[in-house]
């Protein structure tokens, strides 16, 4: 009881909860042996070359899982694969190259995964971008929306059958506490109107990730697939220092390590308790509210607009989920 009161208080202060202070205080309350072996299970992680994705891949490997690292750059990918191999208990991690900003590449990745692996127990959508200017992908989709939202949607719809065959299975999407600041903005999902702001676009896509996790969760509830979204707090990663250099400089002593930021991602993929609850938004091993600020809520129609836009961009209606 005292623990949850302290935890809530940390959450409301933001700085207290998101930093290494929050992690240090909360992690004392966690049972020490809450992460069971993942031997015999396979976990795919996107954005596995650095930061939270690499720490997540290492975490799964440490638990004995076969890890599939998804990366767009062969050299960075191979470096990460070699690092993860050091943690693996004799199970060799696998590298899959894919630029998530290309729908064709994402489709091909899904086909390779289905052809090359006999099972898939956990899929972590971790890769994310915060570009400074509005940019379009080869498919003509705004880059933030393409990488953070459309790519995970396409990968999920293509891998659902495989995950179901390996059930109980899990899908984890790495969102951000930044999503609290913004609503979905369903009328302009690709930021076509007004002056582009990278941080606003990012926060909207992070909100969209949480909404889609909830929508996938209710569709996949009866298929043995638990879907979660998570926010990692503030972690010292190459992505954070590149996208928000001033914020990074200011907060550096308080930032979590990548491993601390990845803790709940690994926990959601491995531990027993989150496997019993689908559709949650998690931070530091506890479910968190999805709305804190007025004006950030979305209607059922907004949610439907987002879902249908993702369907339209990835091959039409999702029939079997």
Ligand X SMILES: NC(=O)c1ccc[n+]([C@@H]2O[C@H](COP(=O)([O-])OP(=O)(O)OC[C@H]3O[C@@H](n4cnc5c(N)ncnc54)[C@H](OP(=O)(O)O)[C@@H]3O)[C@@H](O)[C@H]2O)c1
Q: To the nearest whole angstrom, how small is the minimum distance from the Cβ of residue 299 to ligand X?
A: 25
Closer residue to ligand X, CB minimum distance, 42 or 126: 126
Q: Per CB under 6 A, does 234 bind ligand X? A: yes
Q: To the nearest whole angstrom, how small is the minimum distance from the Cβ of residue 2 to ligand X?
A: 28
Helices (H), 88-197: 103-116, 143-145, 151-165
Please count the other Cβ atoms lying within 10 Å of the Cβ belonging to residue 180. Answer: 19
Catalytic residue among 18, 23, 180, 202: 202
* Among residues 235, 268, 306, 313, the one that binds ligand X under rule CB under 6 A: 235
Rounded to a whole number, what is the largest CA-CA distance in the chain? 53
Q: For 31-38, which contacts have Cβ atoms below 8 Å and span 24 or more sequence positions?
A: 34/267, 34/271, 34/273, 34/285, 35/63, 35/266, 35/267, 35/270, 35/271, 36/63, 36/270, 36/271, 36/272, 37/63, 37/64, 38/63, 38/64, 38/65, 38/121, 38/269, 38/270
Closer residue to ligand X, CB minimum distance, 76 or 134: 76
Cβ atoms of 212 and 310 closer than 8 Å: yes
Q: To the nearest whole angstrom, how small is the minimum distance from the Cβ of residue 161 to ligand X?
A: 23
Contacts of 272 (CB under 8 A, 6+ apart): 36
* Residue 202 a catalytic site member: yes
How far, in Å, CA of 294 to CA of 229, rounded?
Answer: 21
Q: Per CB under 6 A, does 112 bind ligand X? A: no
Q: Mask of contacts with ligand X, 18-57, x by CB under 6 A?
A: -----------------------------x-xxxxx----
Closer residue to ligand X, CB minimum distance, 64 or 183: 183
How many chain residues interact with ligand X (CB under 6 A)? 28
* Among residues 176, 228, 264, 278, the one that binds ligand X under rule CB under 6 A: 176
Residues that bind ligand X (CB under 6 A): 47, 49-53, 72-73, 76, 99-101, 126-129, 147, 174, 176, 231-232, 234-235, 237-240, 261
Active site amino acids: 202
């Amino acid at each position: 009881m005292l623990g949850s009161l302290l935890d809530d208080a940390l959450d409301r202060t933001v700085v207290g909860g998101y930093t290494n202070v929050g992690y240090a205080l909360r992690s004392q309350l966690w049972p020490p042996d809450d992460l069971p072996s993942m031997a015999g299970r396979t976990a795919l992680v996107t954005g596995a070359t650095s930061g939270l994705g690499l720490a997540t891949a290492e975490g799964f490997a440490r638990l004995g899982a076969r890890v599939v690292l998804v990366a767009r750059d062969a050299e960075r990918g191979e470096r990460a694969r070699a690092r993860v191999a050091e943690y693996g208990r004799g199970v060799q991690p696998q590298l899959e190259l894919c630029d998530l900003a290309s729908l064709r590449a994402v489709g091909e990745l899904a086909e390779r995964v289905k052809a090359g692996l006999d099972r898939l127990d956990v899929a972590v959508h971790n890769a994310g971008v915060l570009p400074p200017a509005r940019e379009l992908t080869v498919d003509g989709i705004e880059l933030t929306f393409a990488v953070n939202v459309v790519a995970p949607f396409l990968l999920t719809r293509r891998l659902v059958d495989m995950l179901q065959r390996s059930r109980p299975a899990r899908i984890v999407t790495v969102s951000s506490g930044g999503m609290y600041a913004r609503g979905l903005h369903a009328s302009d999902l690709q930021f076509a109107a007004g002056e582009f702001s990278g941080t606003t676009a990012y926060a909207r896509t992070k909100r969209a990730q949480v909404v889609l996790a909830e929508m996938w969760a209710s569709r996949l509830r009866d298929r043995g697939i638990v879907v979660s979204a998570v926010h990692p707090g503030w972690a010292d990663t190459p992505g954070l220092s590149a996208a928000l250099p001033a914020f990074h400089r200011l907060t550096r002593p308080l930032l979590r390590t990548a491993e601390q930021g990845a803790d709940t991602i690994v926990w959601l993929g491995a531990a027993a308790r989150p496997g019993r609850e689908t559709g949650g938004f998690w931070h530091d091993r506890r479910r968190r509210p999805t709305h804190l600020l007025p004006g950030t809520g979305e209607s059922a129609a907004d949610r439907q607009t987002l879902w249908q836009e993702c369907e339209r961009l990835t091959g039409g209606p999702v029939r079997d989920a």
